[in-house]
Amino acid sequence: MGSMYTAVLFLGIQNAGSVQPVVAVERTVFYRERAAGMYSALPYAVSQVLIELPYIFVQTLVYGVITYAMIQFEWKLEKFLWYLFFMYFTLLYFTYYGMMAVSMTPDHYIAAIVSSFFYGIWNVFSGFIIPRPRMPIWWRWYFWACPVSWTLYGLVVSQFGDLTNKLDNDQTVEQFLRDYFGFRNNFLGVVAAVVIWFVVLFSFIFAYCIKTLNFQRR
């Protein structure tokens, strides 16, 4: 679980941070080309979103094959595909979040500052440092609004949610995940859908901001 938690945050933040300067430079070129009537905002935004898909897939495949074997997860095709699924869409929504942050701010420096604030919030409410049942009741709503918590939920449940091995306290792994973390194996399909929804949400906001906001200085 610790490997999942650290990988999601470190790889995700690295993806978001590395894409921000690129988007900021290309947005300047986009302003010029749009003013010349060469192309509109929607094709530009869609192309920016789509071009990330194959690169993130290769990154996920390389990372997933290496780490799945090193961590010694159970070698079942279904579990391996779930692992790749959640890592792929997690890296996607982190990348699109970085792009979205740039589209909402004047430059990538401000975008990095704004993003870092949310990274800290996502870290706290991911459900790993403080499990959801142990969060104050008035803060649990943010667990459900935090994309990293859904990723961790999906990764943990897809790998350990069906295990009936007993722990020292005579609980099964499945029971421990349910009681301590609040993770339920029958919720896996919903978790997968929400992770995809974050990808769609961040990419849509990026496209909308590129179309409506103009930070060009005259």
* Sole residue written with tokens 């929400």: 194
Per-residue model confidence as pLDDT tens for the chain (218 residues): 888 888 889 999 999 999 999 998 888 888 888 878 777 888 888 999 999 999 999 999 999 999 898 888 888 899 999 999 999 999 999 999 999 999 999 888 999 999 999 999 999 898 888 888 888 888 888 989 999 999 999 999 998 888 778 888 788 888 888 888 888 888 899 999 999 999 999 999 999 998 888 877 65
Distance spanning both ends of the chain, measured CA to CA: 50
Classified as helix, coil or strand, 91 is helix
Q: Which residues of 62-85 are buried (b: 16+ CB within 10 A; e: fewer)?
A: ebbeeebeeeebeeeeebbebbbb
Single pTM value for the model: 0.91
Element at 46 (helix H, strand E): helix 41-50
Contact 127, 143 (CB under 8 A): yes
What span, in angstroms and rounded, lies between the C-alpha atoms of 213 and 65? 40
